[in-house]
Structure formats: structure tokens, C-alpha cells
Structure 1
Amino acid sequence: MPLLILGLLVWSVPHLFKRLAPEMRAGLGDKFKGVVALLVVAGVVLMVIGYRGAEVVPLWYPPSWTMHLTDLLMLFAVALFGLGNSKSRLRGRLRHPMLLGVITWAVGHLLVNGDLASVVLFGGMLIWAVLSIFAINAREPEWERWQGGSVAGDIRLGVITVVVYAAIAGIHYWIGPSPFPM
């Protein structure tokens, strides 16, 4: 569990640093971007190792139907995450599509995992994403909506979402818990 918590901190601090101390971040220049990238990768590695190595401490037993809801939420999470860089007409309607994707991903995983390590990992990422949204909105109350997009961009987002979702499900199926009810 300590590696999991350390990973969450190593992931969250560099991400929040830009939002909570933008002047200090700007003073560090572009050299800091490489350090942030290394910290983020290290945080992910620590989270994976910490999560996989954590003792299973059950807190509750989710009902089986939550797997179906989580599968649907994951499809939305992948779409939201992709929306942030898409040419979809939907892009201009949501201010924080990637962070909303992380929130959707975290909630979905909390629905089907009732153990302590899952609550720490997915709850921690959920808290990070919510704090990020609040920090961005506090610093930049006004936002310029993205203009543009096309039907082709919507279709491309849909196709990419399904392909990425299938890849994630395949990896999940390969390394551990099946993402689909048996």
C-alpha cells in the first residue's frame, strides 16, 4: 500500500503544481517539462506496482450488475478522454473532457472494486481530477470554447473510442480481471 500511496502523490503533485503555483511553474521554464514527465511515469509505475502488490482488504462486495454499468461507463470515459483532442462537434460543449473522463473511469472502477487498494487508487484519482477542475476554474473562471468540429470528427471519435476501448478490454482480459461478466 505505501507504494500505491507514493505513486498517487508522485502523480498528483506535478499535475497540481501547474494549477496551484503557476507563477513558480512558469519560472522553471521548459526544462521542468521533462522532470514532470518523468515524475508522472514514475507515479504510474508506482501505482501499478503498489496496486498489484497490495493485500486484498475487502470493504464491501459489489453486486454483479455493477460490471455492466462499469463497462458502459468505461466506454464513456474513453470517449471523454479522447474528446479533449478530437475534431468532434462535442468538444466545445465540455470544459474539462479529459478530467471528466478520469472521474468517469474512477467512479466505474469504484463500482466494481470493493477492496481498500481500489478505494485508495480510484478514489485518489477521483479526488485529484475533481481538485484539478476546481483549481482550473478558480484560476481561469472564463474559458474560450473550442469552435469547430464536424460530423466526420464525431465519427472519427466514435471509431477511435471503440478501438481504444477494445484494446483496453483486451489488455484487462490478458493481465487480470475480466472486464466483462462471465
Structure 2
Amino acid sequence: MQIMILGLVLWTVSHVFKRLAPGLRARLGEVPGKLLVTVLSLAAVVLMVVGFRRADFDPVYTPLPGMGHLNNLLMLFSVYLFGAGKVPGVARHYLRHPMLTGVVVWAVAHLLVNGDLASVVLFGWLGVWALVSMLLINMQERWKRPLRGRLRADGIVLAVAVVLYGVIAMIHIWLGHNPFLGTYG
């Protein structure tokens, strides 16, 4: 689990670097700064995945029966939110942080169906990171609400989200964690 925690720390540091050390981040320059965050983020994801897969199963709580259905619905919504902030649709007009909100929804969805220690640490940490990131951004930047876009753009994002959700589900199945089999009792 130490490898996973190292990945979580690396993810957190690389993502809050701009908020906590804006002068240093600015001195790096736009492209080198983004490249550094990208490289550190990819390394963090690899460490999180490897660490999570190697972690022992230490139960913390037993997920409630039937949560698999809610998990799958929340995951589709989470994938939708990841894309909603990038297109001029209706959702972007109402949500200041659609991608970070998607991370929170993703974390909650996974905590509904995974009650082991590694899951609580991984999904709980990333959910809290997303909430703290929202707070830091809100404290440092004013939000200028984007113009309300077209519902058609949100429909396209939803269609792409359904396809991506299918790909994510297939990857989970390939890794041995079928999202359609858990806690449906």
C-alpha cells in the first residue's frame, strides 16, 4: 500500500503545486510547467494502480446490497462530468468545477461498492483532494460564468460518455473486476 500512497502524494503535490506555489509554477513557464504536471501525474497514476493491485484485502466495512446499480449510474454521470467542462453546453454554464465534481462522484461511487482499506484510502483521498482543489480554486479565482451553451453539446458529451463508460467497464472486466457483478443482492 506504500506504493499507492506514494502515488497519491505525488498526484496531490503535482496538482496543488500551482495553487500553493504560484510564483514558482509561473517561473517554470506555461509549457514546461504543464509538462512537469503531466509527467508527475502519469507517474502518480502508475504508482496508484500498481500499489492498489498489490494491496492486501483488509475489510473496513461491508458495502450494502444493491449498491452496484447506483455505482454504475454514478460512474456514467462521473464520466459525463469529465467531458462536460470542455464543451460549450448547458452543464458548463451551471457547474464551476465539472471535472473535479466528476472526481468526487467517481470516488463516492467506488466507496459504495468497495469496503476494503486500500479502496477507502485511494478513493477517499482522491475525493477529498478534489473537494480541497475546488476550495483552493474558489479562494484564488473569481468565476465568470460561461454563456449558456446548447443542449446538443451536452447530448454529444453524453453519447461519448456512454462509449467511454463501456470501454472503462471492459478494462475493469479485463483486470478481473466486473462492475456488473458486485453488490447486487
Tell whether the 8 Å contact from 2:85 to 2:91 is kept in structure 1 after alignment.
Answer: no
1:93-117 deviation digits (Å, cap 9, x = unpaired): 1000000000000000011000000
| Aligned counterparts of 1:91 and 1:171: Cα–Cα separation in 2 | 28
Root-mean-square deviation (CA, aligned residues, Å) is 1.2
Structure 1, gaps ≥5 residues long: none
Structure 2, gaps ≥5 residues long: none
Tell whether the 8 Å contact from 1:7 to 1:43 is kept in structure 2 after alignment.
Answer: yes
Q: Report the count of equivalent residues.
A: 181
Q: Is the aligned partner of 1:8 residue 2:17?
A: no
| Aligned counterparts of 2:101 and 2:75: Cα–Cα separation in 1 | 12
Quote how far apart the aligned CAs of 1:88 are: 1.7
Q: Could you list the runs of 4 or more consecutive aligned residues of structure 1 that deviate by over 4 angstroms after TM superposition?
A: none
| Aligned counterparts of 2:68 and 2:21: Cα–Cα separation in 1 | 39
Quote how far apart the aligned CAs of 1:148 are: 4.3
TM-score, normalization by structure 2: 0.93
Q: Which residue of 2 aligns with 1:57?
A: 58
| Aligned counterparts of 1:176 and 1:18: Cα–Cα separation in 2 | 37
Q: Which residue of 2 aligns with 1:150?
A: 150
Q: Which residue of 2 aligns with 1:74?
A: 75
| Aligned counterparts of 1:38 and 1:100: Cα–Cα separation in 2 | 23
Tell whether the 8 Å contact from 2:84 to 2:154 is kept in structure 1 after alignment.
Answer: no
Quote how far apart the aligned CAs of 1:32 are: 2.6
Quote how far apart the aligned CAs of 1:54 are: 0.4
Quote how far apart the aligned CAs of 1:64 are: 2.4
- Percent identical among aligned pairs is 51
| Aligned counterparts of 1:126 and 1:75: Cα–Cα separation in 2 | 17
Q: 1:5-154 alignment to 2 at 5 Å? A: 5-30=5-30, 31-140=32-141, 142-154=142-154
| Aligned counterparts of 2:87 and 2:159: Cα–Cα separation in 1 | 12
| Aligned counterparts of 2:28 and 2:93: Cα–Cα separation in 1 | 31
Q: Which residue of 2 aligns with 1:169?
A: 169
Range with bigger deviation, 105-114 or 80-89: 80-89
| Aligned counterparts of 1:60 and 1:152: Cα–Cα separation in 2 | 42
SS of 1:165's partner is helix
1:36-94 deviation digits (Å, cap 9, x = unpaired): 21110000000000000001101111122111111111011011111010232221110
| Aligned counterparts of 2:131 and 2:152: Cα–Cα separation in 1 | 31
SS of 1:179's partner is coil
| Aligned counterparts of 1:41 and 1:166: Cα–Cα separation in 2 | 22
Range with bigger deviation, 80-89 or 103-112: 80-89
Tell whether the 8 Å contact from 1:68 to 1:181 is kept in structure 2 after alignment.
Answer: no
